[in-house]
Amino acid sequence: MATEPITENPAEDRSGYARSLVVVNTGDGKGKSSAAFGIMVRGVARGWNVAVLQFIKSGDWNVGEEKVGRQLGVDWFNEGEGFTWDSDDIEHDKTLAQAGWERARELIMAGSHELVILDELTYLLNWGWIDPEPVYDTIRHRPEEVNIVVTGRDAPQGLIDVADTVSEVVKIKHAFDEGILAKRGIDY
């Protein structure tokens, strides 16, 4: 922890700005997606075309961030059907994940969105539901003005390697651990 205020700009010697960035929010703490949706709002405020693809949450959840995102003109796609422990057909979930990734790849490569948020993508990579190498390749070779934000626990090293900024959200305490269920307006 810094004990003195920073007096020099650490980026002062760098030339120019990046055309786009890849941000990964990972870790076991709460707030990974919420941070991504903060970036979503910033992008909309800058006049960007923004797309969000949620790979686990279904459209049936009626989540607040989707409601406000749609009101702001964000292209929103629900590519999953909910938590795996509620699934009646994991193979069907895998098929949805693969189709969802294909949609994400097409959106990214089309270059018409300045920001694409891939919410909970890390799970698909870690569970082997999609091949990670095409994901990393797509991110690496995206059009130069497409920013990407990826969320989810346990970001794989390959994803960390292609990212510009990686933040780990660490859980100190969570209401769920005490048996308190998710609260509308706070958790979704």
Query: Which domains, and CATH codes, for the chain?
Result: 34-144+161-169 (3.40.50.300)
Considering only CA atoms, which of 165, 174, 168, 172 is closest in space to residue 26? Answer: 168
- What's the pLDDT tens digit per position in 12-52? 666 668 899 999 999 999 999 999 999 999 999 999 999 99
Q: Note the pTM of the prediction, 2 decimals.
A: 0.89
Residue 8 has pLDDT above 80, yes or no: no
Residue 59 has pLDDT above 70, yes or no: no
What's the rounded Cα separation, in Å, for the pair 137 and 65?
A: 29
Q: Which residues contact 175 (CB under 8 A, 6 or more apart)?
A: 183
